[in-house]
Amino acid sequence: MAGMTLHVLKPSVNNLTVRIFVRAAGLECEEVDVWGSTQTPEFLAKNPAHLTPMLEHAGLPRTTLWESCAIMGYLCNTHGLEQFYPSDPGKRAMIDSANFYLIGTLYPLLARATYPTLNFPQYPGEVGSSGADDAAKAEAQQAAETALAEPLDVYRAFFLGGKRFIGGDHPSIADIRLAASLEFLAAIDYDMPDWAREFMDAMANELGDAYTEPAADVRGYIEHVRSQAPA
Ligand SMILES: N[C@@H](CCC(=O)N[C@@H](CS)C(=O)NCC(=O)O)C(=O)O
């Protein structure tokens, strides 16, 4: 499919998700780094939500598409990528459930637990972005980190359910979304369960450079932030 552009912020795991996916699927896609320009009038005219990753393609009704899982779904549908997003209704429903659960439940906790350390802004209305003192913010961060364990274990117990990947023998778009998200936990030295470590290793082994090349941008950012942290 000609003329696809992916607008990205390289330190972001929301972006990492789609960056891994397009590489793993072998899709030709120009990548544009939009660091510092998501709030410009030009970007906002295309995407008033100012969110990345953002796919730009003439085949889309409004030319642009954001939300990592929607982008992967669209590209699977337009390229017939059954191995990443099966069309069987039951199998597809499991992938959708894993992705919606990630975006709606796991990721908000992961963001609250890691964004303060990553120097990323938190959403208005959250303790982390409020005028609360440092102790209250640290308490909120710790509460989110503690609460992560339960939804994370849902992936082991239910979505993986003893399989190598959520998609079975092959990584699905839900596996890519999960593995990319877990990359941020290195920022807080999260006590990652063995199964999650094994899952991330399996993803990197299975996808090779498609995984490790873009993941290096996120890992490099985490290292940089950590090197700047007061001793
Ligand atoms: N749920 C969305 C989250 C996207 C998101 O939060 N993107 C952030 C980077 S992590 C962004 O582009 N922020 C730039 C801005 O708000 O101006 C997804 O999965 O794509």
Q: What is the DSSP string of 1-22?
A: ----EEEE-TT-HHHHHHHHHH
Residue with the nearest Cα to atom 14 of ligand 1? 51
**Tokens representing residue 173 in the block:** 């778009």
Q: Give the Å distance between the CA of 231 and the centre of ligand 1.
A: 30
Is the residue at 138 inside a domain? yes
Q: Compute how many other C-beta atoms are within 10 angstroms of the C-beta atom of residue 71.
A: 21
Identify the pLDDT of residue 124: 87
84 located within any domain: no
Ligand 1 center to 226 CA (angstroms): 22
Distance CA 110, CA 68 (A): 16
67 C-beta closer than 6 A to ligand 1: yes
- Does the beta carbon of 21 lie inside 6 Å of ligand 1? no
89-98 pLDDT per residue, tens: 999 999 999 9
Confidence (pLDDT) at 205:
98
Judge if 41 and 129 occupy the same domain.
no
Q: Say what the pLDDT of residue 1 is.
A: 58
In this prediction, residue 123 carries a pLDDT of: 86
C-alpha 162 to ligand 1 mean position (Å): 32
Domain end position, chosen among 44, 61, 79: 79
Whether residue 228 has its Cβ less than 6 Å from ligand 1: no
The verdict on 95 and 74 lying in the same domain is no
When divided into structural domains, the chain yields a total of 2
Q: Compute the distance from residue 49 Cα to the ligand 1 centre, in Å.
A: 9
Same domain, 28 and 104: no
Our answer on whether the CB atom of 122 is closer than 6 Å to any ligand 1 atom is: no
Q: Return the ligand 1 atom nearest residue 13 CA.
A: 10
- The per-residue pLDDT for range 154-176, each reduced to its tens digit, is 999 999 999 999 999 999 999 99
How far CA 163 is from CA of 8, 98, 101, 159, 171, in Å, comes to: 31, 14, 19, 9, 11
Judge whether 71 lies within some domain. yes
114 lines ligand 1 (CB under 6 A): no
Residues 95, 64 share a domain? no
Could you tell me the residue range of the domain that residue 123 belongs to?
Answer: 89-228
**Whether residue 118 sits in one domain with residue 73:** no
Q: Provide the pLDDT for residue 171.
A: 98
| CA of 51, closest atom in ligand 1 | 12
Angle between helices 173-182 and 209-228 (to 10 degrees): 20
Residues of the chain under the 50 pLDDT cut: none
pLDDT for the residue numbered 230: 78
List the CATH number of the domain containing 126: 1.20.1050.10
Residue 53 lies in a domain: yes
Q: DSSP character for 165?
A: B
